[in-house]
Amino acid sequence: MMAAGRFHPQSVSVSFEQGKWWISVEGVAAVFHPQRHSPKGRHTKSAGLDMGVRTLAVVADTDGDVLHVVKAVRSLQNAEQQLKRANQTLSRTKKGSNGRKRARARLTRIHARIANLRADVLHKASHWAATNLCRLTIEDLNVEGMKQLRALAKTVSDAGMAELRQQLTYKAGWYGLELVIADRWFASTKTCSGCSNVKAEMCLSERTYECHLCGLIIDRDVNAAINLARWPDNTMITPLAAAA
């Protein structure tokens, strides 16, 4: 941007934090993100994003087509394993020793790496959604409440649901995506995307949605994403190929 004359720096500061050098540049910039509000080349149907249990996120449209899947990231899982070991190493060192200093520095580096890896995958997902869709509905998740459920704790922290939602919110503004937050009480997981029947219970361990009314068998997260895509007008049910 500087080479193109679109950014004029006024001050630069250099700092050393968490084992890394940081350079902050302050100045005046032209619009960072060229407005791409045109719907050209975008998926025209309403889409829904389910921040899943099995995958990080699934995007599907009102027709039941899966448009995008954000998988859990292997490097992130590996880094979390490293974190566990680094914590154990730290607990075995003596207070004030050089060994403890080294172990602590290593822990800090791994924490920073995990934060970077997570931010990277979430930014890619939110950028894809903001630039490829016209209308996206997401769930109004009670993330704090979910964190209290032990079974989900890891998945939720991995997924960084709150972070993804925040990114989607500001990127929607940049790129002209219509972002819709579904009602907190909308049962996107328990509703059948084939016949709109609502199940009384759906365990966290049930990875597949099976409808006893219409016989639909579908991935849990895909089912939820389709329901979100159709929200609030869930009477707009079209027969799914999967149900045939």
Phi and psi at residue 7, to the nearest 5° = -140, 130
Q: Which of 50, 65, 178, 233 is catalytic?
A: 50
Number of residues engaging Zn ion in binding (CB under 5 A): 8
Taking the complex as a whole, the smallest distance from the CB of residue 207 to Zn ion amounts, in Å, to 17
> In the bound complex, what is the minimum distance in angstroms from residue 213's beta carbon to Zn ion?
5
Which part of the chain contacts Zn ion (CB under 5 A), choosing from 84-92, 93-101, 216-224, 233-241? Answer: 216-224
For Zn ion, the closer CB: 83 or 214: 214
Selected binder of Zn ion within 51, 60, 216, 229 (CB under 5 A)? 216
Query: Which segment (40-48, 121-129, 204-212, 226-234) binds Zn ion by CB under 5 A?
Result: 204-212
Which of residues 25 and 213 has its CB atom nearest to Zn ion in the complex? 213
In angstroms, what is the minimal distance from the CB of 216 to Zn ion? 5
| Sole residue written with tokens 């975008």 | 42
For residues 158 and 68, give the distance between their C-alpha atoms in angstroms, rounded to a whole number. 18
As given in the structure block, the two tokens for residue 159 are 């997924």
Q: How far apart are CA 100 and CA 89, in angstroms?
A: 9
Q: Are 178 and 169 in contact (CB under 8 A)?
A: no
Catalytic residue among 26, 120, 139, 140: 139
Cα(131)–Cα(175) distance, integer angstroms? 6
- What is the separation, in whole angstroms, between the first and last Cα of the chain? 54
- Under the criterion CB under 5 A, does residue 115 sit at the interface with Zn ion? no
Of 156 and 222, the one with the shorter C-beta distance to Zn ion is 222
The question of whether 221 is a catalytic residue gets the answer yes
Binding string, 179-198, against Zn ion, x = CB under 5 A?
Answer: -------------x-xx-x-
- Residue 64, Ramachandran bin (φ over 0: left; ψ between -120 and 50: alpha; else beta): left
- For residue 213, state whether it binds Zn ion (rule: CB under 5 A): yes
Q: Which stretch binds Zn ion (CB under 5 A): 83-91, 94-102, 207-215, 233-241?
A: 207-215
- Could you tell me the smallest distance in angstroms from the CB atom of residue 191 to Zn ion? 9
61 is catalytic: no
User: Count of CB atoms within 10 A of residue 62's CB?
Assistant: 21
Least separation in angstroms between residue 15's CB and Zn ion is 57
Q: What is the rounded (10 degree) CA torsion for 49, 179, 42, 236?
A: 70
Q: Identify whether the C-beta of residue 18 lies closer than 8 Å to the C-beta of residue 128.
A: no
- Is 17 a known active-site residue? no
Q: How far is the CB of 211 from Zn ion (least distance, A)?
A: 3
Cα(169)–Cα(156) distance, integer angstroms: 19
Q: Which residues, 6+ apart, have CB-to-CB distance to 10 below 8 Å?
A: 26, 27, 28
Which stretches of the chain bind Zn ion, using CB under 5 A? 192, 194-195, 197, 211, 213-214, 216
Catalytic residues: 50, 139, 221
